[in-house]
Amino acid sequence: MWEIEDIKEACNRIERNTVYGAFECCQQFFSSIMSNEDILRLRGLSEKRCLTWDALYEAWIAAFFDRIPSADENTLAKILGTRTKKEALAIEYFDESNSLPLYHELENRSFREILPYINTHYKLSLKRLKEKYEYNPRFEETVTSAFKAKMKKLEKKRSATPPDSEILRQTLQEDIFAKIRSWAALIEYVTLLVPNDTGSIHDTDDLYDALMALQNLRHREKNKFPVSRITTCSLCWRVVDLFMAKKKNSARCHVHLYEKVAGTPARKKAYERALKITSRLRLAHSSRSRLLAALIRFFPYEEKLIQVRLNLWNWWEHEPPQSICPATGTQDFPDEFWLALPHVAEFLRQQACPLDSINAIVETMMPLDSGADAQTVADYNQWIAAWTKDIRYFLPVFAHAETWLAIYKELYPSLPVDM
């Protein structure tokens, strides 16, 4: 029988490791408790890079079918259970399963460990970089200056020089993108990459999705308590009074109330329809993320739009409105913007909302229940004012609503949207 210290060490290592690292460093310990059949199965999954926390957790629980676990063994079970829950949340985020192995490679790694992993398996795409920065004179000037400096160094060495394209890639990798110190910068960097191996099953979209899932999980743990009286409806994108709900994750707007509350009629049919949409929405995280990335390109790029770029859909619940930096330029919507949001545009037109009025758009998309108390109304008005100052911070709501309305149209083509 293993000593208590060994179990505690196993707990410590599992908490600090990826699923592959946890199994590798604790394999001998697991062998003393799990069946040989389970160990061989888990080892096979690990060698194929298909091991999951769910498989590890189930094998641990199965090992105690004929005896009661000790307190420390229960602690380890809770740790495995927590990692399994996080894994399940990450799976909900992915459209396809290819991102899960990447999630397992990167989970629990520090920021300094993630970047070298990415640089080992991915490289800069000059085509993607040109598409993203061709209208950014300052960036082009910086790259040109660094490129000329590197050319001079190579000329002094008087050795065979690589092609200009390779020198440019080295310049970007070593001089422009060498000092990435934030998640925001890392996400921007990833959008410019392609796999080193053309036959790799892990393309850049898989990497992007894995990083988004990790960042969203970290954001959930960091921001557990909202700073505002308003939250997001658990069944759509609209706002709802947080204190009208028994639990934050079950808050429902006036459109999707199941029960009759304070004179408000029950909306059982709307609730049931929204429930089906929410079930489908769990499988559309990645497409929603890509839509948001497309919408951001219609507006000036600024480093301060961290939450928007990281796709933290409800970040505004945990940030004060004063954290928004107003847009410095115009906030006009080009025709192409609404072409990217056909269902939202139709939804707004049905309510006679002008597509050139930011204030009207925000209030139509995020209506507050008329029964809200004074404090909730005050919080709501603060956010309306903040979003109106800079509509870019409202883009996650647009992306969420477009995805939701598209699913509604698919499921209920003959029914108008519940309002």
pLDDT of 96 strictly over 80? no
Nearest CA among 224, 218, 221, 215 for reference residue 248: 224
pLDDT of 353 strictly over 90? yes
CA distances from 74 to 8, 22, 26, 58 (A): 11, 17, 16, 13
pLDDT of 247 strictly over 60? no
Q: Label residue 292 left, alpha or beta by phi (over 0 means left) and psi (-120 to 50 means alpha).
A: alpha
Residue 124, H or E segment: strand 122-124
> Which pLDDT score, from 0 to 100, does residue 274 have?
87
> Which pLDDT score, from 0 to 100, does residue 342 have?
94
> Which pLDDT score, from 0 to 100, does residue 117 have?
87
pLDDT of 1 strictly over 50? no
> Which pLDDT score, from 0 to 100, does residue 200 have?
67
CA dihedral 51, 57, 62, 68 (to 10 degrees): 150
List the alpha helices (DSSP H) in 223-322.
Answer: 268-281, 285-296, 306-309
Q: Give me the mean pLDDT over the 379-400 stretch.
A: 88
Q: Which long-range contacts (CB under 8 A, 24 or more apart) does 322-326 make?
A: 322/386, 324/386, 324/387, 324/389, 324/390, 324/393, 325/390, 326/389, 326/390
> Which pLDDT score, from 0 to 100, does residue 322 have?
76
> Which pLDDT score, from 0 to 100, does residue 411 have?
92
> Which pLDDT score, from 0 to 100, does residue 3 have?
44
For residue 27, what pLDDT band results from cuts at 50, 70 and 90? confident
> Which pLDDT score, from 0 to 100, does residue 21 have?
87
pLDDT of 324 strictly over 60? yes
Structure token digits, residue 3: 């000593």
> Which pLDDT score, from 0 to 100, does residue 4 have?
37
Token pair 């298909």 in the structure block, residue: 50
> Which pLDDT score, from 0 to 100, does residue 118 have?
87
* Residues comprising the chain, all counted: 419
CA distances from 41 to 31, 59, 253, 417 (A): 12, 10, 47, 49
Output DSSP code: residue 243: G
What are the sequence ranges of the domains in the chain?
A: 4-93, 105-222, 230-411
pLDDT higher for 32 or 305? Answer: 32
List the alpha helices (DSSP H) in 158-296.
Answer: 164-171, 183-190, 204-222, 268-281, 285-296
Tell me the range of 91-105, 143-157, 158-172, 403-417 where mean pLDDT is highest.
403-417
Model confidence over 105-143: pLDDT tens digits?
888 888 888 888 888 888 888 787 777 666 566 767 777
Structure token digits, residue 218: 């970290």
For residue 346, what pLDDT band results from cuts at 50, 70 and 90? very high
Q: Which residue type occupies 407?
A: I
Tell me the range of 11-25, 41-55, 328-342 where mean pLDDT is highest.
41-55
For residue 378, what pLDDT band results from cuts at 50, 70 and 90? confident
Q: Give me the mean pLDDT over the 77-103 stretch.
A: 82
Kindly provide the b/e burial profile for residues 20-47, where b requires at least 16 CB atoms within 10 angstroms of the residue's own CB: bbbbeebeebbeebbeeebbeebbebbe
> Which pLDDT score, from 0 to 100, does residue 192 have?
82
Structure token digits, residue 235: 């069944």
Write out the DSSP string of 329-387: S-----HHHHHT-HHHHHHHHHTT--TT-HHHHHHHHSPPPTT--HHHHHHHHHHHHHH
Question: What average pLDDT does the structure give for the chain?
Answer: 81
Model confidence over 267-296: pLDDT tens digits?
788 888 988 898 888 777 777 888 888 888
Q: Which residue type occupies 203?
A: D
pTM of the shown model: 0.66
> Which pLDDT score, from 0 to 100, does residue 70 have?
85
> Which pLDDT score, from 0 to 100, does residue 2 have?
45
Tell me the range of 88-97, 121-130, 196-205, 359-368 where mean pLDDT is highest.
359-368
pLDDT of 167 strictly over 80? no
pLDDT of 349 strictly over 80? yes
Model confidence over 192-233: pLDDT tens digits?
888 887 666 678 888 888 888 888 787 766 655 566 778 888
